[in-house]
Each structure stands twice: as C-alpha cells, then as structure tokens.
Structure 1
Amino acid sequence: MDPAKLLDILGNENRRKIIQLLANRPCYVSEISGRLGVGPKAIISHLSLLEQAGLIECSVDEQRRKYFNIANNVRLEVSVSPYSYTMALQDINFDREKKRESYAVENNGPATRDESSCFFLKLSERLRELRIKQEELAQMQKQLQAEYTELMDKCLDSIEDIARNPVECELLFELLKNEATAAVLCYNLRLHPSIINSNLMDLAERGFVEYTIKNSQQYWKICETGVENK
C-alpha cells in the first residue's frame, strides 16, 4: 500500500484506537463499540477501511461470531526535517504458525511446567535484548538526522558563496537532496526547461554537477569528484 494512503487512514483517531485495542487481543464489533463508546455502524465502517488496507483481518468463532485481529506486521516511518519529508512502509514477514512449530521443535514437543517456565523466561530475555536494540537504533536515527540537518545548513551557506544566481541556488539545493532529471527539476522549481538546462550546463562547466544515463534518461547530480576550478 502507498504510505501516504495508509497515513491518511491512520489519521482518524478512532481507527488508531481500534488498532491499539486489537494489538492487545482480537475483539468483536460489540466489544470495540463498547470500549470506544462509538456506535457499531461507525465501527464497522472503520473496520472495513482497515481491512481493505490489509492491517486487520476477520475470523469466525465456533458460535459463528465475527472477530477481528491484526493481520500484518508493518512499519510506517515518517521523517520530517527542515530539508526533507519522507515516508516509508515496510512489510515485516511473520508467519505465526511456522513460529509456533519452530518453538515446539526447540522445546522438544510437549513440555513440563518447569520446562515451559524456563522457555518463557528465555523468550522474555530475548524480548528485552530486542527492545534495547530498538532503542539504540532509534537513538542512532536521531543522531543521524541531527548530523544531516547540520550538514545541510553548511551546504546552504556554501551554495550562497558559489552560486551566481538564485536559480543555481535552487538547483544545487534540489540536487543535494537527490539526483533528478531536468524534467523533475522543472516541475519542482516551476521553471521553463530552457532556464533549467542553461543553468545546469553552466554548473557542469564549472565542475559542480554532472549527469549519468539511466533508462535512456539524463539524471543530474552533484559531482562526486569535488570542485574543479576552470
């Protein structure tokens, strides 16, 4: 699914509350309605959207009552900074049945209460280790974002020194974020192709930008070999 569409779906507070509730345990419509204080008709509408997005799924119990549970293990990342706005959706494969089978093999099939307790404690310890790694990763991402922003600030100061006009400033700033075709640069900067192309050629002659051919298209980028005075 498109990350932006998923973000729109999760923008509704009641849908977020439903996800939070189902993250604890599967629930029936009546349970969700009672816990959230929202009418069953509205709950069914929210559940339908979440099910279409692949976030939840429904099952039928022995009394033929329909209940809902989390379907997928996904990670939605949104990064907002002074110089970037990105969204990424990662689908983390997780087969519960296979995991249960592997746990049974590791535990040598049916176990005594003492063996089950020992196995549970081992799993709990592994969870603690993963939690620590997640916290370390989050801290590393925070540090990288701070360093990225600091370097972008310095690059902007440098751009003001080397650019000969405002268009060159905007082009260098765009290419700092990512390589792009001339057409994409025209669209992002709302400038005529002739203006974009002439400024790109001037920057290329001075050794600041260069292009590579991908899928029969020119992709412009900041030179990797540094500035060459000409």
Structure 2
Amino acid sequence: MDPTKLLDILGNENRRKIIQLLANRPCYVSEISSRLGVGPKAIISHLGLLEQAGLIECSVDEQRRKYFNIANNMRLEVSVSPYAYTVTLHDVPFDRENKEEDPVGEETPQGEEPSAFFLKLNGRLKELKKRQEELAQMQQQLQAEYTEAMNRCLDSIEEIARNPVECELLFELLKDETTLASLCYNLRLHPSIVNANLIDLTKRGFIEYGIKNNQYYWKIREIGVENE
C-alpha cells in the first residue's frame, strides 16, 4: 500500500484508538464502540477502511459473531528534516514456523519449569527492547550527521554554482538521481534552460548521467578511489 495513503488513514484519532485496542487483543464491534464511546455505525466504517488497508482482518466465532484483530506486522516511518521529507512502509514478516534465529522457542522446553521459561522470555523481550532503543539512537545520530553534511554541501554549492539555476539543479541532484523531465517539473523551468545548465555542469565535472530503462538519469558525479 502507498505509505502516504496509510498515513492519511491513521491520521484519524478514532482509527488510531481502534488499532491500539486491537494491539492488545481481538475485539468485537460492540466492544470497540463501548470502549471508545463511538456509535457502532461509525466504528464499522473505520474498521472497513482499516481492513481495506490491510491493517486488520476479521474472523467469525462459534456464535457467528465477527471480531477483528491486527492482520499485519509492519513499520511506518516518517522522516522530516530541513532537506528531506520521506514516508516509508516496511513489511516485517513473522514466520512462526521458522525459529532458527530465535534462541527462545515458542513452546516450553521439555523438562523446564514454565515459570523459569517465562522469566527467560521476559529477559529476551528486554534484550530486544534495548536493541530497538539503540537502533533508534543510531538513526537519530545518522539524521543529525546527514543534515550537517547537507549544510556543508549547500555552502559548497554557493561557491561553485555560476547562477541560481545551477544552485537549484545541484540541490535537487544531491537528494537523488533523476530525469530531465523531473527536474523541469520540480523547478518549473523550461527544458532548454535545464538541459543547457546540465550540460555545462557535466563539462565542468560536477555531474554525470546514466541510462536506465531507456531514459537519461542525471546525478552528482561519483569520485572513485583512484581520483580521491
């Protein structure tokens, strides 16, 4: 699913509360309605959107009552910085049948007390939580370093660019390689102007192009080890 559409769906407070409830245990419509203080009709509408997005799924119990639960294991990330805005969605597969990488299996090992096994599982959870926190700190540090590097790149661009168009082109290409059409659209400039500046920057050794899917892609020139 498009991560930006998923972000729009989760922008509704009641839908976020539904997800929070279902993250604890499966619930019926009547339970969700009672807990949130929202009418069943509105809850059914919210559930429908969440189900279409693949976030939840429904099942029917022995009394033929429909209940809902979380359907997928995913990670939605939003990154906002002075030079970037990205929304990414990662599916996190969880295979209960494959426990080779999990030192603590799903069932209590034969001969081990359930209480001891429970404490071992708790230790595993704490270990994983600590690793998650370390990863989050590393991501924060990387974003800070990225922002600092971009600041220095922009200072350098002001020194090497001969006109404002070159400044904008180099900034766009710092973010990612792209096509002439995309550059024209983003900068709202005529292709002839953009192309002339691209050619000049190429001759001066700042950018280069490659061909993918029969299209020219422009990017900042990569310096090999032998040229450093």
Q: Please give the TM-score of this superposition, normalised by the length of structure 1.
A: 0.91
* Cα distance between partner residues in 2 of 1:132 and 1:12: 31
- Which piece of structure 1 moves more, 60-69 or 172-181? 60-69
| 1:160 is aligned to 2:162 | no
Structure 2 residue matching 1:143: 3-state secondary structure: helix
Residue 212 of structure 1: how far off its partner (Å): 1.2
* Cα distance between partner residues in 1 of 2:11 and 2:178: 31
Structure 1 residue matching 2:38: 3-state secondary structure: coil
Unaligned stretches of 5+ in structure 1?
none
| 1:103 is aligned to 2:101 | no
Residue 96 of structure 1: how far off its partner (Å): 4.7
What's 1:84 paired with?
Answer: 84
Residue 103 of structure 1: how far off its partner (Å): 2.1
Matched ranges for 1:79-158 at <5 A: 79-96=79-96, 103-104=106-107, 107-108=109-110, 115-158=113-156
* Cα distance between partner residues in 2 of 1:98 and 1:193: 54
Matched ranges for 1:176-191 at <5 A: 176-191=174-189
Structure with greater helix share of residues: 1
Residue 95 of structure 1: how far off its partner (Å): 3.9
* Cα distance between partner residues in 1 of 2:8 and 2:196: 40
* Cα distance between partner residues in 2 of 1:95 and 1:63: 30
Residue 97 of structure 1: how far off its partner (Å): 6.8
Matched ranges for 1:29-108 at <5 A: 29-96=29-96, 103-104=106-107, 107-108=109-110
Q: Residues 114-143 of structure 1, C-alpha deviation per residue, up to 9 Å, x if partnerless?
A: 622222111111111110110001000000
Q: 1:97 to 1:206 in 2, by over 3 A?
A: closer
Look up the equivalent residue of 1:69 and give its one-letter code: N
Q: 1:159 to 1:98 in 2, by over 3 A?
A: closer
* Cα distance between partner residues in 2 of 1:38 and 1:137: 38
* Cα distance between partner residues in 2 of 1:128 and 1:30: 35
Residue 61 of structure 1: how far off its partner (Å): 1.4
* Cα distance between partner residues in 1 of 2:212 and 2:189: 23
* Cα distance between partner residues in 2 of 1:48 and 1:66: 13
Look up the equivalent residue of 1:188 and give its one-letter code: N
Structure 1 residue matching 2:63: 3-state secondary structure: coil
Task: Give the % identical residues.
Answer: 79
* Cα distance between partner residues in 1 of 2:185 and 2:123: 52
Look up the equivalent residue of 1:88 and give its one-letter code: T
Unaligned stretches of 5+ in structure 2?
100-104
Q: Please give the TM-score of this superposition, normalised by the length of structure 2.
A: 0.92
Residue 203 of structure 1: how far off its partner (Å): 0.5
Provide the alpha-carbon RMSD of the alignment.
1.6
Q: Residues 171-215 of structure 1, C-alpha deviation per residue, up to 9 Å, x if partnerless?
A: 000000001111111111111110010000010111111111112
